[in-house]
């Protein structure tokens, strides 16, 4: 998973660097240059990361995760971030998705079982993941 974020960061940095380059030293600087912006939501969508849920969708996601294990939503923003990233893993059909859901939502103080990872994935598919 960290490899995907590294690739995204490098691609975004390259795009920003390329838009800042100007090969013509004698360019007319009096004109405002239109720099194309990087559409983060499109990049995330292409990678299988759903938009951050709001309103009823966020409430349903938090409730579904809390029903599995209240500790995994102690920090709701972190739980939402974990959920969006797990959707990316599910989108790409990686191996051992239940194991990685358990790793993503658990920590040293509160480990999550692979069985709960399976429940988390099922909840994500119902509430958030495309």
Q: What is the pTM of this model?
A: 0.68
Q: pLDDT value at position 7?
A: 59
Q: What is the pLDDT of residues 29-72, one digit of tens each?
A: 444 444 455 677 788 888 889 999 999 999 999 999 999 999 99
Report if residue 60 sits inside a domain. yes
Rounded distance between C-alpha atoms, residue 45 and residue 4, angstroms:
13
Residue 34 domain flag = no
List the structure tokens of 47. Answer: 């990678």
Number of domains into which the chain is organized: 1
Query: The domain containing residue 45 runs over which residues?
Result: 40-128
Residue 111 maps to a domain? yes
CA–CA distance, 15 with 24 (Å, rounded to integer):
19
Higher pLDDT, 35 or 120: 120
Task: Evaluate whether residue 26 is within a structural domain.
Answer: no
Q: What is the mean pLDDT of residues 3-29?
A: 50
Q: Is the pLDDT of residue 25 over 50?
A: no
């Amino acid at each position: 998973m960290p490899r995907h974020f590294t690739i995204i960061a490098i691609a975004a940095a390259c795009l920003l660097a390329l838009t800042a380059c100007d090969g013509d030293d004698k360019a007319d600087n009096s004109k405002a240059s239109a720099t194309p912006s990087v559409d983060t939501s499109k990049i995330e969508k292409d990678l299988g990361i759903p938009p951050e849920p709001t309103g009823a969708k966020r409430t349903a996601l938090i409730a579904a995760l809390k029903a599995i294990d209240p500790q995994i939503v102690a920090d709701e923003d972190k739980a939402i971030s974990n959920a969006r990233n797990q959707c990316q893993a599910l989108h790409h059909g990686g191996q051992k998705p239940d194991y990685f859901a358990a790793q993503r939502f658990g920590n040293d103080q509160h480990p999550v079982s692979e069985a709960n990872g399976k429940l988390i994935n099922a909840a994500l598919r119902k509430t958030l993941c495309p």
